[in-house]
Amino acid sequence: MVARRVKRYFQWLLPDSCKLLPLKRFFWKRHIPFFMNDKPVAVVTGASRGIGRSIAIGLASEGYDIAAIARSTDSEGMEILSKEVAQAGSHFFPIGLDISCTTCHKEVVSNILERYGRIDILVNNAGVAPLQRSDVLEMSEESYDRLMNINLKGPVFFAQKVAREMLWLKEHIESYKPVIVFITSVSAVLTSTNRAEYCISKAGLSMASSVLADRLSCEGILVYEVRPGIIETDMTVRIKDKYDKLIQEGLVPQKRWGMPDDIAKAVASLARGDWAFSTGTIFEISGGLNIHKL
């Protein structure tokens, strides 16, 4: 009877992702409740390149240790990111995950919590473009399902898992101010008929951000959407000449490409708490692309 009570007590101490750990492992290694990271921890998905890489570096500069998630941990991008995070004086934890693998989320979150004992900010950035641009009337189910799984379903359920842990952590970390950021796109509201599946996935992710902001507002967890415009990354390299011309013709009022660092600065501002009374807000970083004009 006493043994069962002790077991229940220690299981209550642990967040959901660690409750499945064998109790003897808990006693031997003494995870989360006894060793809490002194520094805040940022989890960034799609961290190996482009916007995700810049966000990870920016948050490291803000004093966060970085759990960097990408499909592969041994890519050149992750190796470079590791060095840049270290130069900022932060710890780097590379994690291999296909975000669309929702059955893998529990293990990943558990590993982060075992390493650091906390997650202070989640930046849901991972996403892909269609492998081939096709007119919406020719869009394949295969392409549609691929983008929905990676750009929408995966991020939504990963955020759900992290949010549950944040609720537990909020009761056990003094001055804990958790934040969730969804990186979407202006394609959430601007149509592209030759990549409809991308637009639809980003529109869905935008709504997911609003729904979670609503649900978690009373729990003290802030949720934001950062909506990039035309950003110069690997994803846009194939259409660079087209957009160079359009930007100079006035498509973007500020007449330049956005850079990954522009997005990273916005996320860093949210992480600092500069917008603590603005949960659910959409921050569009697009050089004025959102201006309606005649």
Contacts 24+ apart (CB under 8 A), 143-148: 143/197, 144/197, 144/200, 146/197, 147/197, 147/198, 147/200, 147/201, 148/197, 148/200, 148/201, 148/204
CATH numbers and ranges of domains, the chain: 40-127+137-285 (3.40.50.720)
Question: pLDDT tens track of the chain, all 294 residues?
Answer: 555 554 554 555 555 544 433 333 333 333 444 467 899 999 999 999 999 999 999 999 999 999 999 999 999 999 999 999 999 999 999 999 999 999 999 999 999 999 999 999 999 999 999 999 999 999 999 999 999 999 999 999 999 999 999 999 999 999 999 999 999 999 999 999 999 999 999 999 999 999 999 999 999 999 999 999 999 998 888 889 999 999 999 999 999 999 999 999 999 999 999 999 999 999 999 999 999 988
**pLDDT of res. 17:** 42
Long-range contacts: 8-11, Cβ < 8 Å, 24+?
none
Angle at 17 between CA 14 and CA 22, to 5 degrees: 70
Q: Which one is catalytic: 64, 116, 198, 224?
A: 198
pLDDT for residue 108: 98
The predicted structure's pLDDT at residue 237? 85
Q: Is 198 an active-site residue? A: yes
Q: How far apart are CA 181 and CA 280, in angstroms?
A: 10
